[in-house]
Amino acid sequence: MATLFGSGIKRREDPRLVTGRATYTDDVKLPGLLYAAILRSTYAHAKLKQVDVAKAKQAAGVVAVYTGADLRDKVNAVPCAWNVPNCDLKVPPHPVLAVDKVRYVGDGIALVVAESRAAARDALDLIEVDYDPLDAVVDPERAAQKGAPQLHADVPNNVAFTWKVTGGDADKAFAEAPVKLEQRILQPRLLPTAMEPRAACASYNPGTGQLTCWITSQNPHIHRFLLSVMTKLPEHRIRVIAPEVGGGFGSKIPGYADEALVSFASLDLGRPVKWTEDRSENYKVTIHGRDHVEHVELCGTKDGKITGLRTRVYAGLGGYASTAAPGIPTILHGLMYSGPYAIPNIAGTVYGVYTTTTPVDAYRGAGRPEATFLLERMIDLYARKIGMDPVEVRRKNLIPNDKFPYTVATGITYDSGNYQGALDKALQMIDYKKFRAEQAKARKDGRYLGIGVTTYCEICGLGPSQVAGAVGFGGGLYDSAIVRVYPTGVVRAYIGAKPHGQGEETTFAQIVADEFGLPVENVEVVAGDTEATPQGWGTYGSRTTAVCGSAVKVAAQRVKAKAKQIAAHLLEANEADLDWKDGKFVVKGSPDKSKSFGELALMANVAWNMPPGVEPGLEATAFFDPTNFVFPFGTHICTVEVDAETGEVKILRYIAVDDCGPQINPMIVEGQVHGGVIQGLGEALQERAVYDEDGQLLTGTLMDYAVPKASQMPKIETAHTVTPSPVNPLGVKGVGETGTIASVPTLVNAVCDALAPLGVTHIDKPLTPARVWTAIQQAKGGAR
């Protein structure tokens, strides 16, 4: 039988999604449902003198109105759950509704619960808030300077943490190096634009004392725990259901005040309460991504050997520390400073800084795109400075294939790799030499062609729980699966992760069906309900297949081992004498003596004739905890033509060669690469959240925040190399974030390469025509 592993079957999720038959959180309708609306600060930074809700309480349809003062003793603060050690982390309280101060435009001030959504929203206008405005501070570097407006009483200079990573002796390397360069690099703030905004619907049953909360969640078990902390209800009385989730990109990992507020209201009122964001609220309240100001230095030899990297990074955290925020610019960023290269000396300092803006947390790639960007940008600048081809510089510094597992200067150990292989393949696809010749010719004609090459590796498949504990992550990072075989031989796998667009309902079914020799239709994958699924840690960090998929595999193997025991018993043979063939256990040498998986499923479930000491039933649970992270890698290449007159960038070709190990479903892998690359090109070319100096978000709608559209994006040519990971039974690595990690520097380097003859060395993202044109004017020594 042909294996399903490796076959690009269609995603089973799609029919319901594209025909509008999926059930999202906002689709949940319950008898007696009430609707919540939240009054949000219009000031970025202000003292709250008075919040007068008297009129709102009187309004038609309004059931209850709560302020921060009302909830102070009833609902606990929103916790931060990644307490990175050894960095003097300061996490000031983040009340679910502001009590005495607001710290960003969108900070919650009051909760209205009403009989209809319209009544709840209308009542917001009746609440009178007396603010005492304070100065705002938006830029994380400026916020960390003396004299900047202070957000929290016990956080001097707004510095939440000072985290350092060192390996080798960077200062010595810089002192001795013949070539040194530095660059200030900005990673603008981005708005994770999941198609479905966030929502929460809470239903407390006073009879049973149980709270059920539907949440747009990438990790329902984490949300159950966070809800328990905030509502003070014990965890075993909370059920979190994440129904269909329409994308997250990290923004649906954190715990938010919103789900605690509806849960509290349901507890207080004894009726179900629902809240759903619109896009404007989403852009103001749901976490943002990136927001770094980076000072980067690189040193090396004249012939292209990198000897040191130093960074000083100001990472904006927004008004409060979101759930995973401290870990993103540190563990997931600074530890990756070596990239795919052997850089012997590294010293990085990252300041986490509170600013009067929406909190920042994980956004697709989370820390790694920022690390890859700064490194790849510096390598191109270095290559230009020493007059060497940027591809040759990369080749010279890549970790050789025979050195894996390889421990980089930052202390982490890469599992496996074939960096040269991916580079060679990508260069061959683009025909690098030929392009360079075309470019030289075009330059003579006054046309500006450019090429950007990124060799990257990233850390994902999060991760070993012991390491999670050591780096302060407030949970485990194993994952889990129950594989349950029904009497009729069909199967359900209940998983701890929560796919929300990545396609694991399909790929995990492929894993299980292969194990049992079943058609893929006979396997269902169930996720997202804490009542049904075992403890897991969610879908993010490109971890679901490597970790939870491995749990599925192990559980299926356990089921199969039990089936084999039963088969041996029924066939009166030794287990050692059984072969697994075409979905049956067959006695060696007696092809007519066999038991199919279906027969064994029935016999196990009816238990009429079990082997002595073997329990009835056919199911198994597995908790898989990997021994290391996985490190996917690859090479992306982009060629562009820049219209020097207008600054417009046209992408000529985009090539992505990624190695995520063996591919369970190549079509899904390709889809992940496409989505990631396009999201990254959006970051590189046009996306940027803009605050004015008063902390007002000026890009509050899709008319001003430029999420890429299909018509703006190039065709993407994908290819792969296959290097299995030794750290999980599937050999797989992650592929959910490679696109956003690799594509951003690829595009920016291509544009800077195109404009090299004009003297342009660096342009800050996003490379809008206006910025490219301005950079050209500046390089020409012209006007602004």
Write out the residues near another protein by the rule CB under 8 A: 40-43, 105, 121, 124-125, 280, 283-284, 645-648, 685-686, 690, 692-694, 696-707, 712, 768-770, 773-774, 783-784
- Of the pair 387, 446, the CB lying nearest another protein is at 446
Return all residues near 414 (Cβ < 8 A) that are at least 6 apart. Answer: 399, 404, 405, 406, 407, 408, 457, 631
Least distance (Å) between residue 768 CB and another protein: 7
Burial of 333 (0-12, 13-18, 19+ CB in 10 A): buried
- CB closer to another protein, 171 vs 704: 704
Nearer to another protein by Cβ, of 90 and 771: the residue is: 771
Query: 716-720 and 648-659: which strand pairing?
Result: parallel
Smallest distance from another protein to CB 121, Å? 8
Q: What minimum distance in Å lies between the beta carbon of 585 and another protein?
A: 56
Phi-psi region for residue 145, left (φ > 0), alpha (ψ -120 to 50) or beta?
beta
* 20/234 with CB nearer another protein: 20
Q: Which is nearer to another protein, 151 or 523 (CB)?
A: 151
H or E, element range at 665 = none
Task: Return the number of the residue (281 or 380) whose C-beta is nearest another protein.
Answer: 281
CB contact set of 128 (below 8 Å; sequence gap of 6+):
50, 51, 52, 55
Q: What are phi and psi of 352, to 5 degrees?
A: -90, 130
Instruction: Give least dist CB 639 to another protein, A.
Output: 21
Query: Cβ of residue 697: shortest distance to another protein, in angstroms?
Result: 5
CB of 654 to another protein, least distance (A): 18
- Assess contact for 661 and 461: CB atoms under 8 A: no
The residue type found at 405 is P
SS3 8: coil
Structure tokens at 450: 């450019």
* Distance between CA atoms of residues 694 and 134, nearest Å: 10
CB of 275 to another protein, least distance (A): 15
**How far apart are CB 556 and another protein at their closest, in Å?**
45
d(CA 302, CA 382): 9
CA-based R_g, the chain, Å? 27
Q: What is the 3-state secondary structure (H, E, C) of 451-516?
A: EEEEEEECCECCCCHHHHHHCCECCCCCEEEEEEECCCCCEEEEECCCCCCCCHHHHHHHHHHHHH
The sign of the torsion formed by the CA atoms of 219, 222, 224, 227 equals negative
Kindly tell me which of 627 and 701 has the beta carbon lying closer to another protein.
701
Give the SS3 label for residue 672: helix
* Angle formed at CA 695 by CA 691 and CA 698, multiple of 5 degrees: 35
Q: How far is the CB of 273 from another protein (least distance, A)?
A: 21
CA separation for the pair 688, 693 (Å, rounded): 15
Q: Which is nearer to another protein, 635 or 686 (CB)?
A: 686
- State the nearest-atom distance from the C-beta of 782 to another protein, in Å: 10
Q: Answer whether 202's CB lies under 8 Å from 216's CB.
A: no
What is the DSSP annotation of 282-351?
HHHHSPBEEEEEEEEEEEE-TTS-EEEEEEEEEEEEESS--TTGGGTTTTTTGGGTTTTB---EEEEEEE
Q: Compute the least distance from the CB of residue 117 to another protein, in Å.
A: 14
Half-sphere exposure of 498 (CA within 13 A, CB side): 32
Q: Which is nearer to another protein, 229 or 649 (CB)?
A: 649
Shortest separation between residue 136's beta carbon and another protein, angstroms: 11
- Closest CB to another protein among 669 and 685? 685
Q: How far is the CB of 90 from another protein (least distance, A)?
A: 28
On the 0-12 / 13-18 / 19+ scale of CB atoms within 10 A, 723 is: buried
Q: Are 140 and 82 in contact (CB under 8 A)?
A: no
Is the CB of 57 or the CB of 121 nearer to another protein? 121
Contact 137, 355 (CB under 8 A): yes
- In the complex with another protein, which residue's Cβ is closer, 572 or 645? 645
Phi/psi of residue 351, each to 5°? -100, 125
Minimum distance of another protein from residue 362's CB (angstroms): 23
β partners of residue 152:
none
In single-letter form, the type of residue at position 769 comes to: P
Minimum distance of another protein from residue 707's CB (angstroms) = 7
Phi, psi of 691 (to 5 degrees): -105, 145
Q: Measured from the CB atom, is 285 or 559 closer to another protein?
A: 285
> What are the φ/ψ torsions at residue 139 (nearest 5 degrees)?
-85, 125
Residues contacting 203, CB < 8 A, separation 6+: 30, 211, 212, 213, 266, 272, 273
Q: Which is nearer to another protein, 48 or 91 (CB)?
A: 48
The encoded tokens of residue 599 equal 């027969």
Nearer to another protein, 153 or 703 (CB): 703
Q: Minimum distance from CB of 43 to another protein (Å)?
A: 6
Residue number, 150 or 777, with CB nearest to another protein: 777
In terms of CB distance, is 131 or 264 closer to another protein?
131
Query: In the complex, what is the shortest distance from the CB of residue 728 to another protein, in angstroms, rounded to a whole number?
Result: 40
Q: How far is the CB of 376 from another protein (least distance, A)?
A: 24
The helix/strand/coil state of 530 is coil
Nearer to another protein, 281 or 376 (CB): 281
Long-range contacts of 386-394 (CB under 8 A, 24+ apart): 386/179, 386/300, 386/302, 386/303, 386/304, 388/303, 388/304, 390/453, 390/749, 390/753, 391/423, 391/427, 391/432, 391/453, 392/304, 393/304, 393/306, 394/341, 394/423, 394/453, 394/455
* Cα 769 from Cα 706, distance rounded (Å): 13
